[in-house]
Amino acid sequence: MNFVFQPAGSVSSMPGAVEGLAFLSPKPLDQTWFTRVSRFPGAGPSRVILTTSLAGIDVHNVHFPLREKARLLEARLLVRLVEARNQPAIIVGDFNSHCDDEPMLLLFAAGFVDRWGGSEAEWPHEDRIDYALSYRLKAESRLTAIPVEHGTRGPSPSDHPGLLLDLAF
């Protein structure tokens, strides 16, 4: 597997804990970079948007903050980043937003498409805060996101299930 991790900042309430984003892929990652997200008072640890290029598609990983106003600012930054690259993109991560919250509505209005492939029983639509979105992905491409159970060995890297993306051309 190909792996990259980008620390964003330490978590003050948990000594030694680091907030960050990662990609794990069976395919080689062409290049990887990150964009720092401006700090918003009271919005938690520092944030980054981690981006990689995979088979000519930008893949952006995000972890939006808990405060709505900070999430909206990060959503606007994400739209600017994706539109500036002007190519197909996949955006994944913990958006800390429900589908009808303002940050998600902004992303949907900008042309981002929810690619959830799980059932409502696996994660009810109104309670979901993790998403796999696409932007200008070719019609013949298939992207499906399904939840992954927590591992049974060692500590979990997250406080909720991850997403497994299946991308085929």
Which of the four pLDDT bands, split at 50, 70 and 90, describes residue 169? low
Q: What is the distance between the alpha carbons of residues 8 and 83, in angstroms, rounded to a whole number?
A: 23
Query: Cα dihedral sign for 145, 70, 42, 10?
Result: positive
86: Cβ contacts below 8 Å, ≥ 6 apart: none
Structural domains of the chain sorted by starting position, each given as residue range(s) with its CATH number in brackets? 2-168 (3.60.10.10)
Quote the pLDDT of residue 152.
46
Quote the pLDDT of residue 156.
54
Nearest CA to 96 among 159, 23, 33? 159
Residues in the chain: 169
Query: Tens digits of per-residue pLDDT, 88-134?
Result: 999 998 999 988 999 999 999 999 998 876 655 565 556 778 888 99
Which of the four pLDDT bands, split at 50, 70 and 90, describes residue 50? very high
Quote the pLDDT of residue 140.
56
Helices 102-109 and 68-85, interaxial angle, to 10°?
Answer: 20
